[in-house]
Chain A
């Protein structure tokens, strides 16, 4: 894919373009750290303190590990949904508006 592409400097030089790209990257990295923290928090808990997860909640046999494990899966889906919602609602229209303004 080495075909050269002319970059419209009017658009890339626009501070709003740079701000938009940076805001989107910041949001994406924030969510990346969030999912890594959740997952590695879980893995480290399993590795070092499995007894916490094996502790029953309430009087029955259901342990804390069950809602926590299912919670890791659900939080993965929730963070994905959050990003898609924000990108569809906010970043895409903002980028489209910039493109139209600069005729790109």
Chain B
């Protein structure tokens, strides 16, 4: 087994990569966006990287089969999986992005948080147990359970890779900018370091390492957010009302300093306590809400986590743990965002001359860390933010690799006849390819606003994977043709409408008035997928359709009882 040695070699390569990066950073400190090299942050981060590479080394010895690689042999407990799901789901975008949004516009940030949370109960009520009982490695196992393998697997692999690539680009660009800001490293180096580290975790440690990296990250992120929220509340005698009142006062005085009249300044202050500019029109609000809520139930890297537990009961319990941690985290970010208004917006040390945040809009939580705990805590929070990105990209990469190896190679090319070793080899070869792609795209998109990419990933998941999964497990009449045509219709519509929406049509391409005026395509693309699946299934008179419908009884029995489901590996 060359895994452990390879992991060590990987660490060495990483050290070599990091040294010139820091030297470069010193030469570039004059640049506006880049901060001075932050040694406490780099030390904290090095500790995290060391610990996770040690975990990877330990995990590498345990990855012997495709099952270990994809699902940690199904031996993760419900509690562990709940933390890992939370670690997989709470991205840096939620921590820095939502707290920044609350910092900027107050209440609106909470609207995001609720949307991100309410997908979890839906996953539990409709999918989690069925996923565990019907699938082994990928959600395509479930979607293709009673259907023709080749078309459904190809569809699922394509949609998985689409979600993974868009999500990865957003994470990579975010990571590069964050690291540039926090550690003073150059953007391209930062992206490369993320790519190399995630390759190490996934390539050598598979799902075992990925799971533990996500658990460590979840504990660090929850601990750090808890400390920040308690510190903020403590400075207001644990009275939220006092905190809100001070935030309103700060916002009003900022507006007054900007030249607003007394009445306008007071209105600007109290505006942060209610819904504001986030929702432009009701259609966008409902469409975006749909994408957030039901997209979660279609994210392949999240669905994959349900195959790491031994049975349906553990899958169910892991959703409860995950929902609890994620909900708790969003309540904390709300306090952190308001804390940032009171402590950061009123302190000139964190602001540029024009009153904007130093280092960019996403720095609210980072500056709050300095305000609360000085440079050392800033270093800790920076390292946690970086760890957060690493855990998310590792899960995404593993999910992409499993789609290529399990769905395309093993099921479509080898028709299920291949052995576990060759499948494992293909997934391992896919990992560096995905990482190289992620690094290249991360660098290519450096100057683009990639915020729409996360919502595009959610829209694809809500318009393709979610309808396909739901209909295939719940509707007897569903056929191969219905699944493939309906799912493709949903994803295609989501992609086309996103290109025609203001985020790309106006902001990226530079055209005037976007043909599709709403911020999310889901309100159109998701119903289209459901209608497509229904219509093309009922019209399907092929011989395959008869087999598809006949297969429902066996599928239902296994989904309901778990009898015949892939169990935990015993070793």
Q: Do A and B bind each other?
A: yes
Q: Please give the residue numbers on chain A whose beta carbons come within 8 Å of chain B beta carbons, in ascending order.
A: 1-2, 4-5, 7-8, 12, 21, 24, 28-29, 31-32, 35-36, 38-40, 42-44, 46-48, 50-51, 53-56, 60-63, 65-66, 69-70, 72-74, 76-77, 79-81, 83-84, 87-88, 92, 95, 99, 104
Selected contact of B558 from candidates A5, A47, A48, CB within 8 Å: A5
- With contacts A65-B273, A72-B118 known, is A77 near B560, CB below 8 A? no
Q: Per-position contact with A for B116-139: 1 when CB-CB < 8 Å, else 0?
A: 011011101110010000111000
User: Taking the nearest CB of chain A, how far is it from the CB of B236, in angstroms?
Assistant: 12
Residues of B within 8 A of A63 (CB): 107, 273-274
Selected contact of A61 from candidates B241, B317, B557, CB within 8 Å: B241
Q: Per-position contact with A for B531-571: 1 when CB-CB < 8 Å, else 0?
A: 00000000000000000000001101110110110000000
Selected contact of A50 from candidates B149, B248, B270, B275, CB within 8 Å: B275
Asked whether A83 lies within 8 Å of B275 as measured between CB atoms, the reply is no
Selected contact of B286 from candidates A1, A2, A5, A40, CB within 8 Å: A40
Residues of A within 8 A of B122 (CB): 32, 35-36
- With contacts A7-B553, A7-B557 known, is A61 near B270, CB below 8 A? yes
Q: Per-position contact with A for B508-532: 1 when CB-CB < 8 Å, else 0?
A: 0000000000000000000000000
User: Taking the nearest CB of chain B, how far is it from the CB of A53, in angstroms?
Assistant: 5
B320 interface residue (CB < 8 Å to A): yes
State which of B167-175, B322-330, B360-368, B381-389 sits at the interface with chain A. B322-330
B350 interface residue (CB < 8 Å to A): no
User: Taking the nearest CB of chain A, how far is it from the CB of B286, in angstroms?
Assistant: 6
Asked whether B111 lies within 8 Å of A46 as measured between CB atoms, the reply is yes
B504 interface residue (CB < 8 Å to A): no
Selected contact of B136 from candidates A1, A60, A70, CB within 8 Å: A1
Among B117, B245, B334, B553, find the residue whose CB has the most chain A CB atoms closer than 10 A: B117
Tell me the nearest residue of chain A to B280, going by C-beta: A47
Asked whether B334 lies within 8 Å of A70 as measured between CB atoms, the reply is yes
Residues of B within 8 A of A44 (CB): 282, 286
CA distance A74 to B323 in the complex (A): 10
Q: Per-position contact with A for B397-421: 1 when CB-CB < 8 Å, else 0?
A: 0000000000000000000100000
- With contacts A54-B274, A61-B244 known, is A80 near B121, CB below 8 A? yes
B293 interface residue (CB < 8 Å to A): yes
Selected contact of A92 from candidates B110, B313, B554, B556, CB within 8 Å: B313
What are 16 A-B interface contacts by the 8 Å CB criterion?
A2-B149, A12-B553, A21-B560, A32-B125, A35-B118, A39-B289, A46-B275, A60-B245, A70-B110, A72-B117, A76-B118, A76-B120, A80-B121, A81-B324, A87-B316, A95-B561
Asked whether A104 lies within 8 Å of B563 as measured between CB atoms, the reply is yes
